[in-house]
């Protein structure tokens, strides 16, 4: 078992298609405060994630207090983020942002079992920042690279998280390879980027 260290976990880059297929969570120690990991189908653990996409919708779904839901779209699918009184900075950002706009989000994966037994996955954001088109495109490229790296090492003998993924998910990694390639190809088509013409120029 890995020894727990009191440092912040690496925020994993993951596309929406793979993130939404995940649903199995685990701890690596019995400590009450041990981090909870989401097991990604390509064989990696994620206690935190880093996503960039288009905020297409936002809504205050709270009853007694503000509780914001945001819909973030990347080239492969949709992330849902939820922020309330315990994430005041992220909730404030969702309140102030206009949709559509590009956003970068660092947060923790959260799973929820529905009445029919399926698992929904969302992000509880630590931070939400508005970004430009160049930042979004760079995230797509780097996330595709990370995804393909995970797939390349999926069958390595010492890859314990890939073994776990094979046990927990009956999902071929080819789908995520095609999603990553498709995401890269989407950067080459001007029609997919409805905000590009309005985005500020990247810093030199």
Provide the domain limits for residue 105. 12-193
pTM, two decimal places: 0.85
Reduce the DSSP state of residue 122 to 3 states and report it. strand
Q: Is residue 4's pLDDT more than 60?
A: no
In 41-156, DSSP assigns E strands to 44-46, 48-60, 68-74, 77-83, 101-113, 119-130
The pLDDT-based confidence of 104 (bands split at 50, 70, 90) is very high
The pLDDT-based confidence of 192 (bands split at 50, 70, 90) is very low
Reduce the DSSP state of residue 125 to 3 states and report it. strand
User: Is there a domain that residue 3 lies in?
Assistant: no
User: Is there a domain that residue 185 lies in?
Assistant: yes
User: Is there a domain that residue 135 lies in?
Assistant: yes
C-alpha to C-alpha distances, 34 to 3, 8, 19, 26, 190, nearest whole angstrom: 10, 12, 22, 10, 45
Q: Token digits for 40? A: 């990604």
User: Is there a domain that residue 6 lies in?
Assistant: no
The pLDDT-based confidence of 195 (bands split at 50, 70, 90) is very low
Average pLDDT over residues 99-105: 95
What's phi and psi for 11, nearest 5 deg? -85, 115
Domain total in the chain: 1
CATH number of 117's domain: 2.40.50.140
């Amino acid at each position: 078992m890995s020894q727990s260290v009191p440092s912040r976990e690496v925020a994993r880059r993951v596309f929406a298609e793979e993130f939404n297929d995940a649903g199995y969570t685990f701890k690596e120690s019995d400590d009450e405060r041990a981090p909870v990991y989401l097991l990604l189908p390509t064989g990696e653990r994620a206690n935190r994630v880093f996503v960039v996409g288009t905020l297409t919708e936002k809504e205050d779904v709270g009853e007694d207090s503000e509780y914001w839901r945001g819909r973030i779209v990347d080239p492969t699918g949709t992330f849902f983020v939820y922020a309330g009184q315990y994430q005041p900075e992220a909730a404030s950002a969702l309140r102030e942002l206009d949709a559509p706009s590009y956003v970068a989000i660092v947060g923790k994966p959260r799973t929820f079992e529905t009445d029919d037994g399926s698992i929904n996955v969302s992000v509880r954001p630590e931070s939400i920042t508005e970004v430009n088109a160049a930042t979004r495109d760079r995230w797509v490229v780097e996330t595709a690279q990370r995804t393909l790296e995970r797939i390349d090492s999926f069958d390595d003998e010492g890859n314990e998280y890939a073994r776990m993924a094979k046990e927990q998910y009956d999902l071929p990694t080819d789908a995520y390879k095609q999603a990553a390639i498709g995401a890269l190809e989407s950067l080459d088509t001007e029609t997919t980027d409805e905000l590009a013409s309005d985005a500020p120029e990247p810093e030199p």
